[in-house]
Structure 1
Amino acid sequence: MDSLTRTLPASWFCSPALYQLERRAVFLKSWHLLGPVTRFQSRSETVVYEIAQVTLLVENRSPESEGVDRDGIVVYAQEEGREIKSYITPSGLVFATLSLDTPSFEEFFSGLEELVNKVDFTKLPHRRSLSYEGRFNWKTMIDGFQECLHCQYTHPTFSKYYPPTFYSVTNHANFSQHMADPSKPSDGLFLYFFPICTLNVYGGGMSSFRTLPTTEPGVARMEFDYYHSGSDEEFEEYFRFVRQVALEDFELCEMAQRNLERGVYGEGILNPLKENGVAFYQQRVRALVRGEWDKVKREREKGSVKVEAREVGMEEGKAIAVL
C-alpha cells in the first residue's frame, strides 16, 4: 500500500496560505490556454482574462478585411510593467503566461503541438462564452475532469456516446489526453492543460473551460467558451448537450468541496489505472508547492525575506500542518 499514490490532503483544498504558495509556484510559472484564434476575431473587442489575480488583455489589431487572422493578435498584461509571454500554435491555439518566470512553450508542453496540429482550430467560429462562480476549490473541479470513474452515474447522456468502460488517460509533459475508446484515438479530442485549462472537441463542436482560483480557497470561477460551425439550431443542440455535462460536474464539485471543508474526507489512495490523471496533476502541484515553500524557508534563514514570508501568508506552524 505504501507504493500507491495518495491524494492531496483536504487542507490543500481549504487553506488560504496554500493558495498563496500555489499562486507563486504553479500559476505564475505555467502556460495558460486562452482559446483558438477565432475567439479574438472582433477588432472592436478587447477580451479580458483574470487568472490568479493577474489580468491579461487580448486584442486583434489586424485590418478587418483580413478575416480570420492570427498575426494581429496581441496579448499583454493590464498591470503596468508586468511582462508576459504568449504563443500561437500552427493549428491556431493561443497560450499566454502570467510572468516571465516560465519555461519556453516547447519545454512546458513538450510534444503537445504534434497532437493539436492534427486539428485546424481556425475553422470553428466562437459562438458563446459563460462565466460564473462555484463553491469549490479549483483542484476539486480538476479532480473530476482528470478521471471518469464518476461518468457512468453522473453523466448518463455523455456515457451513451463515450462509454467509460474503455476510458483512459495518457499523461505527458504538463498535459493529459483523454480517450473514450483507445482503439479510436480520432473520435473526440479531450485535453487537459496543467494547471486549470481544458479543450474538448466532440459532438460536432468544441468547448474549453478554465477553473480560475479566487482569493477564497473554497470558491473558483468557471469560464466556458463554445465553438461551432453549424446552424443556430445545430449549435443550440450541441450547447444543450455539453452544458448538461458541465452542470452535472458543477453540482458534484460543490458537494465534494463541502465534504472536504467539513472533514468528511481527509486523504485517500488513488487507483493507479483509473485515477492516473488525478495522480499526475496532484503530484505536479505537490512538488511545485513544496519547492516554493523550501525556497521561502531558505530565504527566511538568510534573514532577507520578512516581506516574502508575509506575501506567502504561511507561518511555520501552518506549513507543517498542511505540507
Structure 2
Amino acid sequence: MASLTRTLPASWYCSSPLYQLERRAVFLKAWYLLGPITRFHSVGDKVGYEVAQISLTACRMSEELRDIKVFDEKTGSEFKSYITETGLLFATISDQAPSFDEFFPDLKPLIGTVDFTKLPYRRSIKYEGKFNWKTMVDGYQECLHCQYTHPSFSVFYPPTFYTVYNHKNFSQHVADPNKADDGLFLYFFPNCTLNVYGGGMSSFRVCPTEKPGITRMEFDYYHLESGEKFEEYFKFVRQVAMEDYELCEKAQENLEKGIYAEGILNPVKETGVAFYQQRVLELVCAQHETETESKPSAAYERSSNTLTVSHLVDPASS
C-alpha cells in the first residue's frame, strides 16, 4: 500500500526563521492575483498592496483599460505584471519569478470562462488574524470542515461530492463534478484565491507578516449589482469568511500549544492540502540546499509519494 501523505509539522507554523526561508523560497518566486482591471476606474488610480513585506503599487497609466503597471513602492522600479484576456491582473514581487505562462501553464482555459471586465469593483476590507498564513490555506484547500463550519454555504454547495483538481501552482475547487460550471473557485499558490458565484466575485490574499503567528487578510469584492443586492451577497460571503477566521485562530492556538504536531492527510478529501504543502516543502528544501551549498541531509526527506519533514530550523530559535 502506498505511503500516506503527512502534513507539515507544527513547527513550520510557528518558526520565524522558517518563515524567512519560505519568504525567499516561495513568495519571492511567485505570481499574485491583484484583481480585475475594473479595480482601476480612472487614469492615475493607484492601489497599494503588500506581500511578504514587499510593498507595491498598481496604477492605471492611460485611458486604455489594460494600461496598468505595477511598481515597487520602495525603489520605483516596475515589477513584471500580466493581464489575462478576460481582464485579471497578476504581478510578481521580485525578478526571481518565472514568466506568467511558466508559472501558470494551464490556467487560461479556466479563467477564460468568465469576463471579469463586466464585474464592477464594490469594496475592500483587511484585518489581521492570529494564525500562520498556511493555517488559512489549509482550510481553503479542503472542505471536510464545510458541513460543520459553513452551514449556510453548504446549502448551496453540498460538500458530499466536493473535489479539488490540482494543476501547476493552482487548484480548482468543484462542489459537484457533474456541475463543473456552477461557480468558479480557484486557489493560486501560494496565497491568493478567486471565488465567482452568486452574481459576484470575491478574492482574498493571505499576507504573512514578520510574525509567523500573525497574518493579514485582504479581501476584494466585485458584483454585477449595487445597493441591496450587493449587500445581501456581501453579508453572505462575509459570514463564510468569519467562520473560517475563527476556525483558523483556534487551530493556530493548538499548533502553538503543542496539542497537534504532525498528522496524515486524507488521500481523497485533502488532496488540495497535500498539493500545496508538498509544493512549499519542495521549494523550501531546494532553497535550503542552495543556501547551505550542501547535499540533502537527515534534516528532511522527500519523495513523490510521501511528505516527511523534521526541522530544517530549530523551532526553539524562533
Q: TM-score, normalising length from structure 1?
A: 0.90
Q: Secondary structure at the match of 1:183?
A: helix
Question: CA deviation digits over 1:110-168, x for unaligned, max 9?
Answer: 11011101110000000000010000000000000000000000000000000000100
* 1:286 and 2:295 matched: no
Q: Secondary structure at the match of 2:108?
A: helix
Per the alignment, residue 214 of structure 1 pairs with 209
Distance 2:24 2:291 in 1: 11
* 1:256 and 2:251 matched: yes
* 1:233 and 2:192 matched: no
Per the alignment, residue 46 of structure 1 pairs with 46
Per the alignment, residue 37 of structure 1 pairs with 37
Shift of 1:229: 1.2
Q: Secondary structure at the match of 2:89?
A: strand
Checking the alignment, whether the CA contact within 8 Å between 1:83 and 1:100 is kept in structure 2 is no
Shift of 1:44: 4.5
Shift of 1:21: 0.5
Give the aligned residue type for 2:101. E
Structure 1: where are the runs of 5+ without partners? 300-316
Give the aligned residue type for 1:93. L
* 1:126 and 2:94 matched: no
Distance 1:32 1:154 in 2: 28
Give the aligned residue type for 1:277. G
Q: Secondary structure at the match of 1:165?
A: helix
Distance 2:50 2:203 in 1: 16
* 1:80 and 2:75 matched: yes
Give the aligned residue type for 1:18. L
- Pair 18,163 (structure 1): closer, same or farther in 2 beyond 3 Å: same
Distance 1:211 1:320 in 2: 23
Structure 2: where are the runs of 5+ without partners? 295-309
Shift of 1:321: 4.2
Distance 1:318 1:149 in 2: 28
Higher helix content, 1 or 2: 1
Distance 2:241 2:88 in 1: 22
Distance 1:247 1:190 in 2: 18
Q: TM-score, normalising length from structure 2?
A: 0.91
Of 154, 162, 176 in structure 2, the residue corresponding to residue 167 of structure 1 is 162
CA RMSD across the alignment = 1.7
Shift of 1:32: 0.6
Per the alignment, residue 103 of structure 1 pairs with 98
Q: Secondary structure at the match of 1:122?
A: helix
